[in-house]
Amino acid sequence: MAVRSNIVGIDSPEALEKALRAAYYLADEGLATAAYLGLALGKPLLLEGAPGVGKTEAAKAIAAVLGRRLIRLQCYEGIDSSAALYEWNYPRQMLAIRQAGDDSIDIYGETFLIERPMLAALRAPDSTVLLIDEIDRADQEFEAFLLEFLSDFQISIPERGTVRAAERPVVVLTSNRTRDLHEALRRRCVYHWIDYPTAEREARIIMMRASSVAEATARAVVAAVERLRREPLSKAPGIAEAVDWAEAATLLNKGGARWPDAFKRSIGVALKDEEDLHFIAPRLDAMLAEATA
């Protein structure tokens, strides 16, 4: 295994944590270490955690730090290899055949190939970061197909031959853990579990991402979302919702809404499910009063 101890000037987890902070992402020691080891060892980085804890944002920040284009493969139930690797442009092939007449034509040339995320990453491993988002939403057949790709970083196109990456591409996988991933997939990756940040860190994230938000507002939002996350909601507010809620409440306050009414009126930015809103409504006033106290 070729170890790359220095990646674009980043020679330690601490250096990567600092670089991520400059990209407006606050990573803790565990995430910075896992990401650095993934880059240094040339292994995929598998990030698991509840929805909204910043897994996808971590991949975006890593791509920004490396100065690379992020290629995102969003997984879903029923996704297959053609959506991930490549497809042939069948209508264009048929048109080319008709236009060629009796002349010979290669309908498997580059102009007829539709490049999908994994093939794009193989072809440009030095300038891209491949994000395989929410792998747990895909079925086990797609996960098995992914094992081969993550082992050899090559694919076979029957009409054109084998495409191999010139170097190991940077790959980040995320999972909300709606189902258990196969052990073989985990073994191929550097693993890290991302939890909700501490109150102090989340307040810092809000103030970093929403520069117009006062510290007192950020801390009030953090106190409120922490209480909401302890409730049996179908969709608890993530970090992005906390940032948006702080910005929305600040905007209403500047328009004349008083605290904590500004928080209450903008609750739809934090909770985005009718049943959740109905469930929390009887206790929302007391919850916000406590958070802003």
Tell me the backbone φ, ψ of residue 63, rounded to 5 degrees. Answer: -60, -40
User: For every one of its 293 residues, what pLDDT tens digit does the chain have, with 9 covering 90 and above?
Assistant: 455 655 667 889 999 999 999 999 999 999 999 999 999 999 999 999 999 999 999 999 999 999 999 999 999 999 988 888 888 888 898 998 888 787 778 888 878 888 899 999 999 999 999 999 999 999 888 888 888 888 888 888 888 878 888 888 999 999 999 898 989 999 999 999 999 999 999 999 999 988 788 999 999 999 999 999 999 999 999 999 999 999 999 999 998 888 889 999 999 999 999 999 999 999 999 999 988 87
**Contact of 128 with 88, CB cutoff 8 Å:** no
Asked if residue 166 and residue 67 are part of one domain, the reply reads yes
Asked if residue 189 and residue 49 are part of one domain, the reply reads yes
Task: Find where tokens 């060892």 sit.
Answer: 41
Would residue 75 count as lying in a domain?
Answer: yes
Asked if residue 203 and residue 190 are part of one domain, the reply reads no
Give the count of domains, the chain: 2
Domain span at 36: 13-80+117-194
Would residue 235 count as lying in a domain?
Answer: yes
Asked if residue 279 and residue 137 are part of one domain, the reply reads no
Count of beta carbons in the 10 Å neighbourhood of residue 119 = 19
Asked if residue 242 and residue 149 are part of one domain, the reply reads no
User: Given the DSSP bridges, would you call strands 161-164 and 154-157 parallel, antiparallel or unpaired?
Assistant: antiparallel
Query: Of the residues 172, 194, 216, which one is the last residue of a structural domain?
Result: 194
> Looking at residue 51, what DSSP letter applies?
T
Query: Of the residues 159, 194, 229, which one is the last residue of a structural domain?
Result: 194
Count of beta carbons in the 10 Å neighbourhood of residue 74 = 14
How would you label 10-23 residue by residue, b for 16+ Cβ within 10 Å and e otherwise? beebebbbebbbee
**Contact of 133 with 56, CB cutoff 8 Å:** yes
